[in-house]
Amino acid sequence: MPHTLQSRLKAIPRPSAALIIPLIAGLYVGVIILLPALEVVAGAFAKGIGPLVQNLGSEELRSAILLTLRCTLIAVPVNTIFGLAAATAIARRQFPGKALLLSVIDLPFSISPVVVGLMLVLLYSPTNGLLGGIVSGLGWKIIFSWPGMAMATIIVTFPFMAREVIPLLEEEGWDQEEAARTLGASNWQVFWKVTLPSVRWAVVYGLILTTARALGEFGAVAVVSGNIAGQTQTLPLFVEDAYKQYDTELAYGAALVLGGVGLVSLLLKLAVEQLLGGAKESHPTS
Amino acid sequence: MTQPVTPRRRSLAWPSWLQLSWSWRITWLVLALVLFLPLGALALKAGAVGPSQFWQLATTPEALATYRISFGLSLLAALTNGVFGVVIAWALVRCSFPGRRLLDSLIDLPFALPTAVAGLALAAIYSSNGWLGAPLQAMFGLKVSFTWLGVAIAMVFISLPFVVRSVEPVLEALDRDQEEAAWCLGATPRQTLTKVVLPQLMPAILSGVAQGYSRAVGEYGSVVMISSNVPFKDLITPTLIIQKLEEYDFASATVIGMVMLLFSLLSLLVINGLQVWGRHWEANPAQGV
């Protein structure tokens, strides 16, 4: 590149930095992030494709996948309904305590997943839970069973949808809703025909993030599950259990499935960002 | 739903201060069931322990050792990412090079990859016969997997995206004229960087570091597999809570869980403060710092 004044101005602080900085960045990300991702693929295919397919057909793995899907299919609708309700209630109003309420909704992102699981145990455990008496009186089984695991999944993925929809709705303003109402639309019609379509991409984005996190949740679910193989074992718990029992191939097989889900969610997220014309999400979501 | 409620429909059933639209009712109901009830259970159970016993259980030598490991190593990880995160953000925003888009997508991988997968992969790479573990041991005699070093690396992995994603938009919005002005006035590149650019990035850097720190302290999945989980050596606080629950020591688990919850609330406060400072800085850059 010729060192014209213009190119030097572009390359502040130093022309050579234009080479060194990407190099450092690439090396760091390569070692910290790319290598582990490649390790999963390499480990899964280490013994060839035959044993991998055989492992993926195992009964316990299948039941782990089904339980993971069940928790996800409960958590995603609950959080979607909450996110939309909270957004329509909060987004375009100013009221005292609004910032506080938004922080409260964000709270599950700051709490350790293990503490989330602990809270559920202290609430629903038949022996030590605050509502333990009621729960066992009704004959329910929440802790060490799938309802507790679904609840843990709900809490951990709680803020994603609300956090995507609220800022978008804040930008939109009231005009279209007011026009619809003036024309005689009911609240429900306004919601379905005006509000929801205007935030549909935020909802799609929120769905991707919620689903990805719900499928991969580990710590919170681990605490409430009791980790009974074939019964209360989700896919992430299955990976850890197989690894602990030195069944490395099985662990890698399950990790490949789970990592594939993560990769698909990342690609979908990028596709949505692309569709929205590079309006890039700047908040990292834990 | 979203409009101010029309009074004629609800005046019969609800006193005026309870007249909530459906969206508010759902919001409060879900918040109560999903968040307030579990939080209340932890707070009540922790309160029932009593102050002197709380202090005693919160500060056992075992618990203190896990705090040192969790809070100390997370700080190390977050600060490391504070430095490299700025370099990466700079590369993504200011440099053009082949593979820039790939690098950009890779940054999000720690969010997208389930922590159990990350834990498995990290433990394998840094084990004594892994891709990086074997050369590190052969050359430097370093053991990474199943030591505190491995725990720190898992924390680096999990907290890397925060600083990058927090600094990127600020760097993008930065006015290049200032740097050119500094350059024209004879500032060296180093002076331009430390006196013009970095001060403006500081709120975003600190906010990213604080978010990454908070995340690393609470992280369980990716750490538990690379750690040997031996008390006083590399046992992190979340794993200690699980061990206490497995021993049916509910009081200890509750107290240590409460300590972690209080830390989360504090870090949320700090992060919000930093973000307000960042916005203030953007609004009137001259008065910042």
How high is the pLDDT of residue A284?
45
How high is the pLDDT of residue A33?
94
Distance from CA of B281 to the nearest CA of A (A): 18
How high is the pLDDT of residue A282?
43
- Domain contains B158: yes
CA distances from B247 to A183, B242, B260 (A): 64, 9, 19
| Residue numbers in A near B43 (CB within 8 A) | none
Query: Is residue A148 over pLDDT 90?
Result: yes
CA distances from B203 to A102, B71, B108, B267, B278 (A): 21, 22, 21, 15, 5
- d(CA B184, CA B161) in angstroms, rounded, equals 35
- Domain contains B29: no
Query: Which of B157, B132, B171, B74 shows the shortest CA–CA distance to A21?
Result: B171
- Domain contains B15: no
How high is the pLDDT of residue B195?
85
% of chain A exceeding 90 in pLDDT: 50
| Lowest model confidence (mean pLDDT) among A65-74, B43-52, B147-156, B170-179 | B170-179
Distance from CA of A220 to the nearest CA of B (A): 9
CATH assignment at residue B76: 1.10.3720.10
- d(CA B77, CA A88) in angstroms, rounded, equals 39
CA distances from B146 to A281, B127, B143, B153 (A): 36, 8, 8, 11
State the DSSP code for A218. Answer: -
Banded model confidence at residue B279, pLDDT cuts 50, 70, 90: confident
Banded model confidence at residue B288, pLDDT cuts 50, 70, 90: very low
CA distances from A177 to A89, A172, B50, B226, B288 (A): 14, 10, 53, 53, 40
CA B169, B77, B271, B241: dihedral to nearest 10 degrees? 140
Banded model confidence at residue A10, pLDDT cuts 50, 70, 90: low
Banded model confidence at residue A7, pLDDT cuts 50, 70, 90: low
Q: What is the pLDDT of residues A151-208, one digit of tens each?
A: 999 999 999 999 999 988 888 877 888 888 889 888 888 888 888 988 999 999 999 9
- d(CA A44, CA B63) in angstroms, rounded, equals 37
Q: What is the pLDDT of residues B29-40, one digit of tens each?
A: 999 999 999 999
What's the total number of domains in chain B? 1
How high is the pLDDT of residue B201?
92
Query: Which of A25, A8, A279 shows the shortest CA–CA distance to B97?
Result: A25
How high is the pLDDT of residue B192?
85
- Domain contains B22: no
Q: Which of B1, B66, B94 to mutate to test the interface with A (most CBs of A within 10 A)?
A: B1
Contact between A25 and B84 using a beta-carbon 8 Å cutoff: yes
Tokens of B67: 């705090």
Give the chain A residue whose CA is nearest to the CA of B154: A32
How high is the pLDDT of residue B116?
93
The C-alpha angle A220, A224, A229, rounded to 5 degrees, equals 105
| Residue numbers in A near B242 (CB within 8 A) | 114, 222-223
Banded model confidence at residue A113, pLDDT cuts 50, 70, 90: very high
Query: Is residue B14 over pLDDT 70?
Result: no
Average pLDDT over residues A7-27: 72
Q: At what angle do helices A17-29 and B100-107 cross, to 10 degrees?
A: 40
Mean model confidence pLDDT for chain B: 89
Structural domains for chain A: 19-48 (no CATH), 57-275 (1.10.3720.10)
Highest mean pLDDT, choosing among B15-19, B264-268, B277-281: B264-268
The owner of tokens 């918040």 is B31
Contact between B35 and A155 using a beta-carbon 8 Å cutoff: yes
Nearest CB neighbour to B108, from listed A26, A177, A266: A266
How high is the pLDDT of residue A15?
54
Contacts of A242 (CB under 8 A, 6+ apart): A248, A250, A251, A254
State the DSSP code for B18. Answer: G
How high is the pLDDT of residue A4?
55
Domain hosting residue B237, numbered range = 51-287
ipTM (interface predicted TM): 0.88
Q: What is the pLDDT of residues A230-240, one digit of tens each?
A: 788 999 999 99
- Domain contains B172: yes
Q: Are A108 and A185 in contact (CB under 8 A)?
A: no
- Domain contains B225: yes
Mean model confidence pLDDT for chain A: 87
Average pLDDT over residues A125-152: 91
Query: Which of B71, B73, B49 shows the shortest CA–CA distance to B258?
Result: B49
- Domain contains B88: yes
Banded model confidence at residue A268, pLDDT cuts 50, 70, 90: very high
- d(CA A155, CA A115) in angstroms, rounded, equals 11
Q: Are B81 and B212 in contact (CB under 8 A)?
A: yes
- Domain contains B178: yes
Contact between B193 and A13 using a beta-carbon 8 Å cutoff: yes
How high is the pLDDT of residue A188?
86
How high is the pLDDT of residue B22?
85
The answer to whether residue B124 neighbours chain A at the CB level (below 8 Å) is yes
| Residue numbers in A near B279 (CB within 8 A) | none
Q: What is the pLDDT of residues B24-67, one digit of tens each?
A: 999 999 999 999 999 999 999 999 999 999 999 999 999 999 99
CA B164 to chain centre: 13
How high is the pLDDT of residue B177?
84
Max distance between CA atoms of chain B, in angstroms, equals 80
Query: Which of A241, A230, A225, A232 shows the shortest CA–CA distance to A59?
Result: A230
